[in-house]
Structure 1
Amino acid sequence: MKHFFLVMILSFLCCNDAENNVEASKDYSKIHTEALAFCQKEGFDENYYFLVDLSIHSGKNRFFIYDFKTKKVVDKNLVTHGSCDQFEENPTKWEKVRFDNRVDSHCSMKGKYKIGNRDYSSWGINVKYWLYGLEESNKSAVKRVVVLHSWNAVKNNEVYPKFAPLSWGCPAVSNEFMEKLDTRLQKSEKPVLLWIVE
């Protein structure tokens, strides 16, 4: 009987650990290689880039800072996705991301972005960075005012199985994480790449 309970406990812990490390098992090597090639070709910062994987549960870390030199993720945190509920009902908006670049859709937009000028934000630490969509899937970013900013409602640690709050399409992060991003971005002499994938 003791053996049975021990097996059950170990099984639960193993499964729970696997659930909590879904993103750790993903292979982003092709994305990192393509990101570096893009940065080299387009004159972007070749030290690091930001990767946002919206296929990961919103209560888990899915905003990654990847260092091209060390070939490692040097930091990660939570990030919001869009509610995407303006043009049609979206009952699964918390669980599954929908993408749409139409103005006022409140959806996320995947693809590569150039992180632009630092500006004032009425949210979080009052700092935002303009995002310039570089693909058909995100070309309306400026018109929609989809920007990188912080938000008091976003926690600084994983909240799984709970969800992060929903945005109107902005990749919003915690105040603490935004301070780290802001410090990095202010030091960058070249544009930094933000790439949203699923």
Structure 2
Amino acid sequence: MLRLLSFFALLLSACQSPSASQQSEPPISAYIQQLRADIKAAGGAYNQRLACYVDLTRPDTQYRFFLLDLQQERVVHQGLALNGLTDKLGNVRYSNELNSNCSSRGLARIGEKYHGRFGRAFRLDGLEASTRNLRKRAVVLHSWSGVDAWPTEQHPIQSEGCPALNPLVLDSVATVIESSAKPLLIRLN
């Protein structure tokens, strides 16, 4: 009987969402290493100190967007981020094809600010083959009020491929982007 109860307890725990204490910490040092390599390969055209990383391999209920200070090796801002379409198991699907409504994976430059249907937004210009169609696909960094500001147990909706953020998070990040003398890079993963 005790074995049967232990089995059911294990089964129930596997079906529940992880609590905040069970959520894994993002590998910030790996993000920073990747972004430093991206900036070095891109030359001096981009901000050498600050860059963004979007990790869609993390659960959508956890922080997935990170504005990082590469010199001080710290997170400046973080937030939940939407992804595009997923498969039947909930895994993010990646594509760079027009009208795919999928997320893209690769390096991009955060471009000019504009005011769109969700308010303030920034165009994204792909810098690799896997992101070359971001602008044509209208995949942008924008806010949406349906994105929670903090980790949650509720799964958000999917975007049409945009890494959408909570408005408070985008406002904080926008201040940094707009005050930067050089464009910031963003790594979409």
TM-score range, shorter chain: 0.7 to 0.9
Shift of 1:17: 5.4
Q: Is the 8 A contact 2:110 2:186 kept in 1?
A: yes
* Distance apart, 1:158 and its partner CA: 1.1
Report the RMSD for the aligned CA atoms in angstroms. 2.0
| Letter aligned with residue 36 of structure 1 | R
| Structure 1 residue matching 2:185: 3-state secondary structure | strand
Of 75, 78, 90 in structure 1, the residue corresponding to residue 77 of structure 2 is 75
Q: From the superposition, tell whether residues 18 and 158 of structure 1 become closer, same or farther in structure 2 (CA, over 3 Å).
A: closer
1:165 paired residue number:
157
Q: How does 1:1-198 map onto structure 2 within 5 Å?
A: 16=19, 19-20=22-23, 22=24, 24=25, 26-40=26-40, 41-83=43-85, 90-92=87-89, 95-123=90-118, 126-160=119-153, 162-197=154-189
CA distance in 2, matches of 1:103, 1:42: 31
d(CA) in 2 for partners of 1:127, 1:182: 9
Number of residues of Structure 1 aligned to a counterpart in Structure 2: 172
Give the Cα separation in 1 of the matches to 2:185 and 2:175: 16
TM-score normalised by length of structure 2: 0.84
Q: Which runs of 5+ in 1 are unaligned?
A: 1-7, 85-89
Q: Write the deviation string for residues 121-169 of structure 1: whole angstroms up to 9, x where unpaired.
A: 111xx11100001111111101100000001111111112x21221000
Once the two structures are aligned, what percentage of the paired residues are identical? 27
Give SS of 2:135's match. helix
Give the TM-score normalised by structure 1: 0.80
